[in-house]
Structure 1
Amino acid sequence: MLFNGWSGIFRIIIMALTVYPALIFMLRISGKRTLSKMNMFDMVITVAIGSVVASIILSDKMTIAEGLTGLGMLILLQFVVTWLEVRSEGFTSMIKGEPQLLLYQGHYMEKALKQERVKKDEIRQAIRADGLASVEEVEAVVLETDGTFSVIKHKPHDGQSSLKEVGGWKRDEE
């Protein structure tokens, strides 16, 4: 069916005009972390929020109160998880995992590459994207918990290494 009357169209317009500002308000009060780079939990919440918003706007079986309650619960859960992350390293490792060393001083970490399902050409691409011409210019490449690559340029070690919490890094070099 292509068209079932104007009442459904008007309902969607009213729901969108109501839910969108409510979503913006809820995200604003929940803090910047709700919209930060995504780890696995953040992605799940983002997809769930999108699904709830779509359901609120498009489903004639869901009331605004029910939809906003669902939306509020997801944002509250995100807030609680991030609050716990800041206060508990054990909880953080359960939710985020740890960054993984993929290249160190010119050597690819073969076991980590296989475990993380990353190809060497992806690492070289990350190095090029960072403006470097060769692997030798790189101290390390780390796969971060949000799926991005961090390229650390080779420089003398005068201070504490940024690789401290990275899986696969030789901790005896601290």
Structure 2
Amino acid sequence: MVLDNPADLVRLLVIAAIIYPALVMILRVSGKRTLSKLNAFDFVVTVALGSTLATILLSRNVSLLEGILALSLLVALQYAAALLAVRWPPSQQLLKARPTMLLRNGQLRKQTLRSARVAESEIRQAARSQGAGDLGDLAAVVLETDGSLSVITRSQLGDGSTLSDVRDEGR
């Protein structure tokens, strides 16, 4: 069962040659936000796009036009959600997680680390990657919505305004 029908291969080649540039064009038109670092919402859209693309390529039951429409709809919904989050900030609570304080003023928030499923060694690694040799020199380590760790040293803290939207359960 290496090759059931040569026409299926030709269909796959033609569809792929059309749908891939169409997807690239749709993503370019939608803007940089669609291709940004992934938070949970962006990840869902990315997985849905991949699944839809695979279905378009491999299913004879999905026409090319239906496939392009499905991809366009997913990107348009992601664009609308991002626009909503920017124009109406309360919607961010529904669409995005808030960043979480894992370390404040050199003190690890052990309960927060557990609930966020972050190991202390990951905090130390993030500190080292920023050139910090002592956790006590850190003002904050924040688990961002995309899963990355932001490290702010005491000398970089300034007025701390960048931490205003961070969930700080240890206060």
Runs (5+) with no aligned partner, structure 1:
none
Q: Deviations over 1:14-71 (max 9, x none)?
A: 0000000100110011111001111111000000000101111111111101111111
Native 8 Å contact 1:37 1:146 kept in 2: yes
Determine if the alignment matches structure 1 residue 83 to structure 2 residue 83.
Answer: yes
Q: Return the alpha-carbon distance in structure 2 between the equivalents of residues 139 and 79 of structure 1.
A: 35
Question: Taking structure 1 as the reference length, what is the TM-score of the superposition?
Answer: 0.92
Q: 1:37 and 2:37 equivalent?
A: yes
Name the structure 2 match of 1:162: 162
Letter in 1 for 2:50: G
CA contact (8 A) 1:98 1:165 kept: yes
**What secondary structure sits across from 1:33 in the alignment?**
helix
Residues 74-105 of structure 1 deviation map (CA, whole Å, 9 limit, x = unaligned):
01100110010001121012111211000011
Q: Does 1:49 align with 2:43?
A: no
The corresponding residue for 1:105 is 105
So what's the TM-score if we normalise by structure 2? 0.93
1:139-154 map, 5 Å: 139-154=139-154
Q: 1:158 to 1:68 in 2, by over 3 A?
A: closer
In structure 2, what is the Cα distance between the partners aligned to 1:160 and 1:169? 16
- Write out aligned runs for 1:20-35 (5 A): 20-35=20-35
Going from structure 1 to structure 2, the CA distance change for 1:18 and 1:70 (only over 3 Å counts) comes to same
Structure 2's unaligned 5+ residue stretches are none
Please tell me the root mean square deviation across aligned C-alpha atoms, in Å.
Answer: 1.6
Runs of 4+ aligned structure 1 residues displaced above 4 Å come to: none
Residue identity over aligned pairs, in percent, reads 40
